[in-house]
Amino acid sequence: MRRQIQKKLPVIILWLLPLTTVFGQSVDLGYNTLAGTNNKLPFWLWANQLGHFDANSSTVQNLELRAFHNQQLSNTDFTVEAGLDLDLLLADKNDLRFTQLFAGFNWKFLQLQIGAFPDEERFAGLSTSNGNMAASLNARPHPRIRMGFNRFVPLIGNWFSIKGFYEEGLLNDKRYVEDTHLHRKAFYLRFGQPQSIELTAGLEHFVMWGGTHPEYGELQDWSSYFDYISGSAGDENALPTDQENVLGNGYGVYQLQLKKAWEKIHATLYVSHPFDDRSGMQLDNAVDNLWGLHLAFQNREALLQNLVLEFINTKNQSGTYHLVPDENGVPQGHGRDNYYNHGVYRSGVTYGQMAMVSPLFAPVIIDDGMSKGFESTRFTGFHLAANGQLTKAIYWKSALTYTANYGFHDGQGGSTYDPARRQASALGQLKWKPIDKKISIAAALAADHGSLYDNGENKTRLGAMLSLNYSIK
């Protein structure tokens, strides 16, 4: 298999390289080599890397071709954009794929994007989940179509604006329910300005729907689309569980952000609150949140440029029990939400065997070569990350993360992990990127210690990464 991929790569690159060089505004060749002990890479060598690296490999070789283009059509308000990221991966499982391949069209504040593209990176890339519990930069982008606003649009002066989008995608990886659709919509309101205080509040709603179930066959399709996206219960043709709850696998987040800008520092406090059903939407799980603080120092040549602090809690999940009859036989309690797992869509919120949500939901259960969801969805954790500049050409980045993981509610008042499985992960990285050179070099060291990824057995795992990048254009 490896020899077949190696034979194909020169042909593909020789075909694509002239095209990308002519049409791309930015064209780069990159090479990454990674290694880890105990048959696995440490957490911060694979997490939030758009699925580039196989977490379950002890060594990874990666060669990638990246090209991006953005152009305004002359004398119009239209702009077009396109991008690709072609990756050759040599690891325990070899692969040749387009990690990104997309096109976009913009007219004033309106945007249409088609293909496999990631969300915009936020908080200098230092957050555990890009500030959004339900949509991180961890997994490889899936094919989708997104329509919406490309920026916040003022409605009343400069102190009240809105932003949103509507999206349909396809999860075309190997998964329990084949060809699962993924719907996503988002709506945000923004009040004020950073120079005083800026408040942003929003809601994002996701639904996995349709597809082919190995036991139930073809699930309800486009004819039930409105019921899916509106969070309605299924009709008489739906599965019994969907008639009792809502059609498909619905989940989402409430997002809140408070920003204040001073001359030398911008401070952003952000909260991401998950919900898996109506109880979460009604804040029965109010204590479950990602709390974050991002400090952006405005001296762009400073030793310390960005600092992120986060606290994460997902232990409550609306309570210990779900619909337990009381002494009168009336069902009580709406707990055991088990975030991002699902009884019908058993691959959970994963793509390419990696979490699409925060990578702290782990480990991903792999069975018969496909994901079967998350083994642990209840945890508390702390995260500290920072970056900056040592000299004009040398940049640094570091991260330290700790979690106590409890599995999920076992239905008997306890947890499936007892005692808790604790995990600590650290990263240190240096990057040499001179202004007048086309080449950059980065080296990173990472370490894990804990029992989360080794069936309750405490292990220490070390790893390293060396990255080379050449800017062709």
Cα first-last separation, the chain: 32
pLDDT at 277: 81
CB neighbourhood size of 155 (10 A): 11
pLDDT at 329: 56
**Mean pLDDT, range 454-459, rounded to an integer:** 92
pLDDT at 1: 47
Pairing of strands 26-36, 459-471: antiparallel
Torsion angles phi and psi, residue 424, rounded to 5: -125, 135
Between 94-98, 102-106, 285-289, the lowest mean confidence (pLDDT) is in 94-98
**Mean pLDDT, range 268-292, rounded to an integer:** 92
Does residue 6 carry a pLDDT above 50? no
Position 2 confidence tier, pLDDT thresholds 50, 70, 90? very low
Between 166-170, 334-338, 391-395, the lowest mean confidence (pLDDT) is in 334-338
Contacts 24+ apart (CB under 8 A), 459-462: 459/38, 460/37, 460/38, 461/36, 461/37, 461/38, 461/40, 461/41, 461/42, 462/36, 462/37, 462/42
pLDDT at 335: 73
Domain count, the chain: 1
53 in a structural domain: no
DSSP, residue by residue, 58-121: SEEEEEEEEEEEEEEPTTSSEEEEEEEEEEEEESSS-EEEEEEEEEEEEETTEEEEEEE-PPPP
pLDDT at 394: 96
Position 213 confidence tier, pLDDT thresholds 50, 70, 90? very high
pLDDT at 330: 55
**323/27 Cα distance (integer angstroms):** 56
pLDDT at 411: 83
pLDDT at 307: 98
Position 5 confidence tier, pLDDT thresholds 50, 70, 90? very low
60 in a structural domain: no
Between 8-22, 131-145, 273-287, 312-326, the lowest mean confidence (pLDDT) is in 8-22
pLDDT at 74: 83
Query: Residue with structure tokens 């409430």?
Result: 254
Beta bridge partners of 328: none
Does residue 15 carry a pLDDT above 50? yes
CATH number for the domain harbouring residue 195: 2.40.160
What element of type H or E holds 212?
strand 212-213
**Mean pLDDT, range 383-402, rounded to an integer:** 97
The pair of three-digit structure tokens given for residue 459, joined into one six-digit string: 């292990």
Does residue 193 carry a pLDDT above 50? yes
Contact between 180 and 171 (Cβ < 8 Å): yes
**Domain interval for residue 467:** 122-142+153-471
Torsion angles phi and psi, residue 434, rounded to 5: -70, 150
For the chain, the average pLDDT equals 90
Torsion angles phi and psi, residue 401, rounded to 5: -135, 140
**295/306 Cα distance (integer angstroms):** 6
**142/175 Cα distance (integer angstroms):** 13
**Mean pLDDT, range 362-382, rounded to an integer:** 94
Does residue 323 carry a pLDDT above 70? no
Q: Is 302 in a helix, a strand, or coil?
A: coil
Number of helices followed by number of strands (H, E) in the chain:
5, 27
pLDDT in tens, 433-442: 998 889 999 9
The pair of three-digit structure tokens given for residue 413, joined into one six-digit string: 């008042």
pLDDT at 8: 53
pLDDT at 16: 60
pLDDT at 332: 53
Length reported for the chain: 473
Spatial CA neighbour of 207 closest among 361, 337, 345: 345
Q: Is 387 in a helix, a strand, or coil?
A: strand
The pair of three-digit structure tokens given for residue 202, joined into one six-digit string: 């929003």
CB neighbourhood size of 325 (10 A): 10
Q: Is 470 in a helix, a strand, or coil?
A: strand
Q: What is the pTM assigned to this prediction?
A: 0.91
Spatial CA neighbour of 35 closest among 14, 58, 51: 58
pLDDT at 195: 84
Position 247 confidence tier, pLDDT thresholds 50, 70, 90? confident
Instruction: Indicate the residue type of 234.
Output: G
Between 33-42, 316-325, 337-346, the lowest mean confidence (pLDDT) is in 316-325
**193/24 Cα distance (integer angstroms):** 36
Spatial CA neighbour of 168 closest among 132, 115, 218, 120: 115
Position 267 confidence tier, pLDDT thresholds 50, 70, 90? very high
86 in a structural domain: no
Does residue 134 carry a pLDDT above 80? yes
The pair of three-digit structure tokens given for residue 330, joined into one six-digit string: 């009336």
71 in a structural domain: no
Q: Is 255 in a helix, a strand, or coil?
A: strand
Spatial CA neighbour of 390 closest among 301, 300, 468, 296: 301
In SS3 terms, 320-359 reads as CCEEEECCCCCEEEECCCCCCCCCCCCCCCEECCEECCCC
99 in a structural domain: no
Q: How far does Cα 153 stand from its chain's mean position?
A: 25
**118/391 Cα distance (integer angstroms):** 31
**Mean pLDDT, range 336-356, rounded to an integer:** 94
**283/289 Cα distance (integer angstroms):** 11
pLDDT in tens, 25-63: 789 999 999 999 998 999 999 999 999 998 889 999 999
The pair of three-digit structure tokens given for residue 1, joined into one six-digit string: 């298999």
**Mean pLDDT, range 377-400, rounded to an integer:** 97
**153/190 Cα distance (integer angstroms):** 9
Instruction: Indicate the residue type of 275.
Output: F
